Amino acid sequence: MKVRRIVANIETPDIAAAKRFYQDVLGLDVLMDQGWIATYGSEERMQVQVSFMAEGGSGTPVPDLSIEVDDVDAALAGMKKAGFAAEYGPADEPWGVRRFYVRDPFGRLVNILAHR
């Protein structure tokens, strides 16, 4: 048996609110929309990972999601333009990533990062 996919499920009464953050700013595609569920993703090949954390690193809280991008500064500029403020960073961390934290429309803390 092999794990093929891990999906993060975020409860919300407003499914459409995800579009601005996850599709418009982060550029994810709508993979499925059944009205009661909208799934965003990418055809990009990704590693299957799940992390268990006692803290978020550098004294930060544990984020609900971590999303790796190819350009952290461009992602941050897009978030600011869309009205989403960074709660931490951008920071170059000692373990080799550049990242910032931002809250999505549902209040989830999202770690946006790129490996340096």
How far is Cα 14 from Cα 74, in angstroms, rounded to an integer?
A: 27
Model's pTM, two decimal places?
A: 0.93
The model's pLDDT over 43-96, given as tens digits with 9 standing for 90+, comes to 999 888 999 999 999 999 999 999 999 999 999 999 999 999 999 999 999 999
Position 4 pLDDT exceeds 90 = no
Q: Which residues pair with 65 in a beta bridge?
A: 110
How far is Cα 41 from Cα 30, in angstroms, rounded to an integer?
A: 7
Q: Which residues pair with 100 in a beta bridge?
A: 112
